Amino acid sequence: MRNTKKTLIAVAIAVIVVFLIMHYWDTAAGVVGVALRAAYPLFLGCAMAYIANILMSFYERHYFPKCKKPFVRKSARPVCLIGALLTVAAVLLGVIRLVLPELADCVRIIVSQVPRAVDSIAAALYRSGIFSQEFSQYLQDIDWQGLIEWCVGVLTRGIGDAVTFAAEVVSSFMSTLVTVFIGLVFAINILLRRDKLKKQLSKMIGVYLPEKWHRGVLHVLTTLNKCFHSYIVGQFTEAIILGALCALGMMLLGFPYAAMTGAVVGVTALIPVAGAYVGGAVGFLLILTVSPLKAVLFVVYLVILQQLEGNLIYPKVVGSSVGLPGIWVLAAVTVGGGVMGILGMLIGVPLAATIYQLLREDINRRDKGRPLKNEGGDGKKDASTKV
């Protein structure tokens, strides 16, 4: 009777909460949106802490593992944290230094070559009979250089007051800088107190949830952490291998912008399935400013490299570690990208791998106790039904 009364009270409260949310949906959505925007630096800090913790844990395992002196053991956490942060900063600065200067030079070359390219295309189309002489002459008479400079001016200064535009840019930059700084400080605090926070979280789950739910939640969190950890390590390893192979092959084949294109392909390869092709498109445009033939050959080389990587490297490095079939990787990237853009592409695969792993465990557990009839009808189970 007492349990029935508690159940009725819980159901009544749930119904009232659902009714209030539906009736005041706009207000509730606004409040939730404000709360999420306010907590964005904390979410960013958690993401930064999780990624940095992978490097930090690696350094801790190799930081004088056989030394038992108290000073060494106490210094392991801050020293390895500093090492992890410096590693991430060095990688980011290295990629920026490789990409930005050559990208700026390429943009200048493209801008200077556009008028000549348009004139050549217009003349070729006129000779082939696609354009009339009047329209071809009209295209050649356009001041493309001035038009490009005007467009660049609009993009850099805005149509309105330049001072207002500059103020908005500075305000946006400072806001982003403050958000990243707060997230970094929060991430450092999480990493320094990760063992204590882990114990507190486990204790809180054990206090507020029944024993069965407690075990289930811990199992889900453990599976989620394992999938994300394996995916991040595998994806970064695969990106480094692909970027290095791309740059090395371009150097051997005599393609320009080898180091920069390899860096761009490696960074964009962090996005599963389609990422490397995005980097390849950037490389194609860069090489096109030097030699159209080499640009086409680069595309052929990248397609061959992607096939080798997709069939040999990716299954060994990422596929086996995550345990997600290729068709579901493609589905996770497609759905994640449609829902959350690039961020959805990045987290879609480990989330799908977690769901796939939990469903497979649940199906196998349920299937274990279910009698199956074989052709002889003796009720024996068929081992081939295991997922």
Label residue 258 exposed, middle or buried (CB < 10 Å: 0-12, 13-18, 19+).
Answer: buried
For 178-215, the pLDDT digits (tens) are 888 999 999 999 988 888 888 888 888 888 888 778 88
Other CB atoms within 10 Å distance of the CB of residue 345: 23
pLDDT digits (tens, 9 = 90+) for 268-307: 887 766 677 778 888 888 787 778 888 889 989 988 888 8
List the chain domain ranges.
213-361
Residue with tokens 């409260």: 13
What does the alpha-carbon distance between residue 362 and residue 215 come to, in Å, rounded to a whole number?
Answer: 14
> Are the C-beta atoms of residues 179 and 38 closer than 8 Å to each other?
no
> How far, in Å, CA of 289 to CA of 292, rounded?
7
What angle, rounded to 10 degrees, do the helices at 25-38 and 2-23 form?
90
Instruction: Catalogue the long-range contacts made by 239-243 (C-beta closer than 8 Å, 24 or more residues apart).
Output: 239/266, 239/267, 239/269, 239/270, 240/266, 241/309, 241/313, 241/317, 242/266, 242/269, 242/276, 242/305, 242/309, 242/313, 243/267, 243/269
Dig out the tokens for 190 from the structure. 């999480």
User: Among 268, 273, 266, which residue's Cα sits nearest to residue 242?
Assistant: 266
270/278 Cα distance (integer angstroms):
11
pTM greater than the 0.85 cutoff: no
| Cα 178 from Cα 219, distance rounded (Å) | 36
pLDDT value, residue 375: 47
3-state secondary structure 53-120: HHHHHHHHHCCCCCCCCHHHHHHHHHHHHHHHHHHHHHHHHHHHHHHHHHHHHHHHHHHHHHHHHHHH
Rounded CA-CA distance 236/350 in Å is: 14
Residue 87: other Cβ atoms inside 10 A:
15
Q: Max alpha carbon distance in the chain (Å)?
A: 93
The one-digit pLDDT tens for each residue of the chain (387 residues) are: 556 777 777 778 888 878 877 777 777 778 778 888 888 888 989 988 998 898 898 888 888 877 777 887 788 888 898 998 899 888 888 878 877 776 677 667 666 665 666 666 666 665 666 655 565 565 556 665 666 666 656 555 554 455 565 566 677 778 888 888 999 999 999 988 888 888 888 888 888 888 778 888 888 888 888 888 888 888 888 888 888 888 899 899 888 888 888 888 888 887 766 677 778 888 888 787 778 888 889 989 988 888 887 777 666 666 566 677 767 777 887 888 888 777 787 788 888 888 888 888 888 888 776 665 554 445 455 545 555
- Residue type present at position 88: V
Output the pLDDT for position 350.
Answer: 86
